[in-house]
Amino acid sequence: MSASLPGKRDLPASRYNLDTYWGRVRQSADLADPRTLFVSSAGLESAKSLVSSYKQGHVQSMTPELWKAKKVVDSTLHPDTGRPVFLPFRMSCFVISNLIVTAGMLTPGLQTTGTLLWQITNQSLNVAINSANANKSTALSTSTLIQSYFLAVSASCSVALGLNSLVPRLKRISPGTRTVLTRLVPFAAVASAGALNVFLMRGEEIRKGIDVYPSLNEDQKQQLAKEGKDIESLGKSKKAATIAVAETALSRVFNATPIMVLPPLILVRLQKTEWLRRRPRMVLPVNLGLILTTSVFALPLALAAFPTRQRIRAGNLEREIMEKVGEDGMVEFNRGI
């Protein structure tokens, strides 16, 4: 993101009001815009140069070109490291990366082997995305990464296989209800394992804490920029890390809910129509279309549930943090995505 580029002068956080949910939705839609994936290396360098020019005071005001450059930078660079996030794991590629995997998990009549393979593939992708977009102020060891991966895979496969074996034994429900419940098994597996995955992958943040910074107004930021000073970390906070990880886990569930619930329920209805009965080969493209359409709208709505740059009263964090800015002082931290 633009915060990772050189320069003492911060860009406006967004052209939208991030204090409102709808403002964050519009900002998240920019962050998840797949068109940014087609920006070349030269285009990225040009965007970085333009953003740096503003931060260094060479450009005095925001222009349409500068907003576009900020969009490219924010959707490509990690806010802590300043390096590009590997393309398949960026939020702008999230819908595309998850499309085939989600379609595989939601395939009607999936057997045990298929269920296991798709759940393993999904959790592998989740681990990669969570690791690539996590707060980097606390390093994650390789052993922790591997352990978290196997625990998440075990959880998702256990839930999926357990519910797949349980649903057929429910004798008091109608065949139609049983079909609907069977189609919703992947949602239960993905939602539970997805949330667990975030906690496992980012558990080191909770154990060691993440960097917390004073929340400054524009005048204070400009004063620091004139003095050539950076905004210094107030220290690491385990409580802030717990909030960051919990909110990210919830946003994963919010994102999975419409994607894993609406398409299978709609497909069940469509499969009863004469048109789809006569064209069984259309089930897969119809399923892909439903998943793609739902994902495009669901992702920004889920990402916007909580601010990416979180502000909180210092009194809600550790005493060491509170003593530096006062109990009612405001601090902020990067939640991660």
DSSP 116-168: HHHHHHHHHHHHHHHHHHS-TTS---HHHHHHHHHHHHHHHHHHHHHHHHHGG
Q: Would you say 305 and 250 are in contact if contact means Cβ atoms under 8 Å apart?
A: yes
| Spatial CB neighbours of 312, under 8 Å, sequence gap ≥ 6 | 240, 243, 330, 331, 332, 333
Model pLDDT, residue 198: 82
User: The pTM is what?
Assistant: 0.77
Model pLDDT, residue 212: 92
Euclidean distance between CA atoms 85 and 134, whole angstroms: 11
Model pLDDT, residue 135: 64
Model pLDDT, residue 58: 85
Model pLDDT, residue 70: 92
Phi–psi pair at 47, nearest 5 degrees: -65, -45
Low-confidence ranges of the chain (pLDDT < 70): 1-4, 135-140, 225
Model pLDDT, residue 187: 85
DSSP assignment letter at 15: S
Model pLDDT, residue 146: 84
Q: Would you say 85 and 289 are in contact if contact means Cβ atoms under 8 Å apart?
A: no
Of the chain, the end-to-end C-alpha distance in Å amounts to: 12
Model pLDDT, residue 91: 86
Model pLDDT, residue 205: 86
| Spatial CB neighbours of 317, under 8 Å, sequence gap ≥ 6 | 212, 237, 239, 240, 331
Model pLDDT, residue 38: 93
Q: CA triplet 243, 248, 254: central angle to 5 degrees?
A: 125
